[in-house]
Structures are given as structure tokens and as C-alpha cells.
Amino acid sequence: MSVLEQILTATRKKIERKKQKTPLDFMMREAEKNRTKSQFVDKILARKGAAIIAEIKNSRPNAPCFSTTLSFGERMRRYEKGGASAISIVVEEKFFGGSPQMVSEAKRHSSLPILYKDFILDPYQIYEAKAYGADAILLIAKIINDRNLRYFAELAKKIGLEPVVEVQTETELKQALGTQSRCIAVNARNLHTLEVDREHAIRIGKLIPRDRFFVAFSGVENKKNFTDYVKAGARAVLVGSVLMESDSPDMILEKFINPVKVKICGVQTKSAALTASRYGADFLGFIFVKGKKRTIDPLVANKIIESLPKGAQTVGVFADAPFADVITVAKKLHLSAVQLHGDESPSYVKRVRKYVPVWKAFRLSYHLSAKKIERMLKDYEAEYFLIDRLDRASKSLPMETLGVLGSRYPIALAGGLTPDTVKDAVSIAQPSVVDVSSGVERNGEKDSELIKQFIKNAKSI
């Protein structure tokens, strides 16, 4: 018996128990109390680009439980803070550890619309979803015949729920298009085997007509997966496990929704600063470490900073500098942040952070694992952790290692980046920021065209 068949057997038994305990008439009256027009579709369409439906599920079949320290309420708040347009809650009890009560609890912590995810086999469950305050309900074409699928979608609409019909094949898509549902979800996960095939989901998604919209389900592990769905026409993408595995889901959501930020470092001239700013650099870096090739005097840096457009973000780079020197320069130049590029201790970083935001830089040996690096990062508190990929022997950390870190921490990636390599770096390493200096230079000076191309390529992912 497949996992899906086990779930359906358990669901049928659950429905009968619930009907005996709480009669349908009572559930219908409770649903009527919550009758309001669903804002689910409006909220998704309100976003200029693709929307994210952030999922909460307590467990999953045939896989380890999620490890996280966030409370339910805090996770909800972080989803909203990170830019999610809606929340999906898996309420199935036996295999996913959920409950319908999670929906009413969610409403206490967030104003976002809720997609109620269960294995719907009976109208009772639709009334139950509305009774607990859901805004939309998932109807899986694979487990519902044509007649019931149309009826369930009509019933959901009637009581103020937006029906989201899930499909996986062309035949199921034809079924879905015969309903009133505007939202067609294509699941990349095979419900019988639990295997994921994103390419197949994309192919089916491209068949959805323009008067409906494509919602992509499953298989989103990184920004590239998200971007692939969006490029295929997905109007919304459901993101689940990668968020549930993180204590910083808001950071992951922000990375998915927003282009990576770019820092042009080693700025020494007004023209380079203005060029970088004009082409969309998010940060400009000024190096105040003595003896370095791109070191700049604070007085010269100050004149450049004064010429920048209002709101330009500037970062001063220091290495093992006296605390008073760092704070003095940061205040005089009104720096947005300081980057500490030496062997500064966690206590030193914490002290500096009381006065100015901090980027803590690390040059790491190429053989270190993600777990070992993570243990180092946990000792520090910083706005960004700058990882220089190239160690002192010019060997580089694998992008896959950085990808693990990038999914959990606000990483600024530096070392060996060029306009030609930055796309792959962003796709695989998932940094919050990419930091470049020599990679946008010709003959030792910042080059306008290279800056433009680097920023364009970085932000295209």
C-alpha cells in the first residue's frame, strides 16, 4: 500500500469519527459564522512578481521530523515579515502531525490568508475548514472524481473558500479546468512514491490557460528552484520544507523574493562610486586597512561619500583595528556598516554593534565542512557573515558547502567573483549579498562596463 493509500484510509476513518462527535449540521452553522469573501487570490495577485505561499507542517511521511526552535506564533510572524503572501497549513493529523485548530491559532498571529491542506474526500471537511477560519482549501484531483471535484469547488466558493485544485498529469489538469477554480496547483511530488520531478511540473504548468493561474507545489530547495518555476509562468510558489528546517525563514523568503544585493568594494574614486550607484549597487565598500592595494584615506572617502545620492549604503572595511578608531571613522563618515575583516573576537564584534551594524568576515580553509563553519558563525552576532571563498592558498570552498550556509545565515559571498561567474554563485550558494572588487577592474581600476554587467547578472537570478 502506497503512502497516499495509507493516508486516504486513515482519512476516511477520521471523517466518520468526526461526524459522530460533531454532526454536520453543527459544523455548517460554525462555517456560516465565518462566512466572508476570501482574500486569498487578491493577496497573491497584489504582488508584482510571483507570490510565495509559505507552508507550516509539523512532520512528513517517510522523512525526519523538522528541527527548529521557533514557536508556531513566531514562525507565522516571520513568514509575514519575510514577504509571504499567504500561509499553507497542513492539517492532516496522522502523517503530518497537523490539526484544524492550527488554522484558528494562525489567525491570532497573522493577517495573511490561510490555505487549508488536507486530503479532502467529503463535504464535511470543507465546512470544517471554513469553521476554523480558512480562506482557501486544497482539492486534490487525483483522489476526487470529476463530479465531486466540481461539486466540492462550487461548495467551497459558496461558503467563502477559494478552491485550489492540485494536479499532476494532463488528465487531472483537464479535470481541474472543468471546475470554478482560478488556482491550479501543479505538484512536482508524486503522491504515491513521494519522488519530486520539477521538470514535469513545469511542463504541466505551461499548459494552464491564461484565465487561470499556475501555482507551483513542491521541490523548492533553493532560489534557483523558485526562479525556474517563476520563469515557467508560476504566479505563486509554495515553499515548505526549506522554511520548516530553518530558524530564519524570513531571511530565506526575502532571498527568494528579492534580487541578491551587490557590494562593490575597494572604491577609491568618485567616478567608480557614482557608476556603481547608478547601475544599482546596494553597498559601496571603502577599505581602511593600512597597506592594502585598495586602501583609502578616510578624508578622501568622506568626500566621495558626500557626493553620493541620498540613501546610498556605505561599508567601511577594518581589520583588527582599535575599537576607538573604528567607531570614530564610522561616525565621522556616517557609515551604514563596518566590515571586520581580521581576527576580531565575538565580544569585540558585540561591542562594535552597539554603535554601528557589523559585517563579520571570515577567510576559511577550503576543506572545512558546512557544519564546522556553522559552529564558528554561531559564536558571532552580525548583520552579515562575509565568507571569502578563496583561502590563503587560493583554493576555494565548494559552492555546495556555501549553499548549506546560505540557506540558514545572511551570507555575503566574496572571492573570485566576476560578471561571468556570479550567476552560478548566486544560484548555488544562495548568498544575501555578493561582494566584488578585482572582478570588476581592468588594469587595477574599476571598469564601468564590468560593474554594470556584474550587477545585471547578479540580480537576474
Domain locations along the chain: 3-257, 261-458
Identical fold at 3-257 and 261-458? Answer: yes
Dist CA 359 CA 287 (whole Å) = 13
Residues 6+ apart with CB under 8 A from 341: 289, 317, 318, 319, 361, 386
**67/361 Cα distance (integer angstroms):** 28
pLDDT value at residue 65:
67
Q: Give the pLDDT confidence score for residue 63 in this predicted structure.
A: 67
Beta bridge partners of residue 434, listed in sequence order:
262, 413
| Phi/psi at 362 (5° precision) | -135, 130
CA distance 411 to 354: 21
- The low-confidence residues of the chain, meaning pLDDT below 70, are 62-65, 67, 366, 390-395
φ and ψ at residue 246, rounded to 5 degrees: -115, 145
pLDDT score of 394: 55
CATH class of the domain at 261-458: alpha beta
Q: What is the per-residue pLDDT across 256-294, written as a single tens digit (0 to 9) for each? A: 988 899 999 999 999 999 999 999 999 999 999 999 999
Report the CATH fold assignment for 3-257.
TIM Barrel (3.20.20)
Residue 59: the pLDDT is 87
Which amino acid does the sequence have at 101? Q
Nearest residue to 215 (alpha-carbon basis) of 24, 460, 47: 47
User: pLDDT value at position 194?
Assistant: 86
What is the predicted pLDDT for the residue at 391? 54
Query: Residue 66: which of 224, 251, 247 has the closest Cα?
Result: 247
Query: Residue with C-alpha cell 525526519?
Result: 64
Q: Supply the pLDDT for residue 422.
A: 95
Residue 246 is predicted with a pLDDT of 85
Question: What phi and psi values does residue 131 have, to the nearest 5 degrees?
Answer: -60, -35
The pTM assigned to this predicted structure is: 0.82
3-state helix, strand, coil in the chain (%, to 5): 40, 20, 40
Q: What is the pLDDT of residue 363?
A: 79
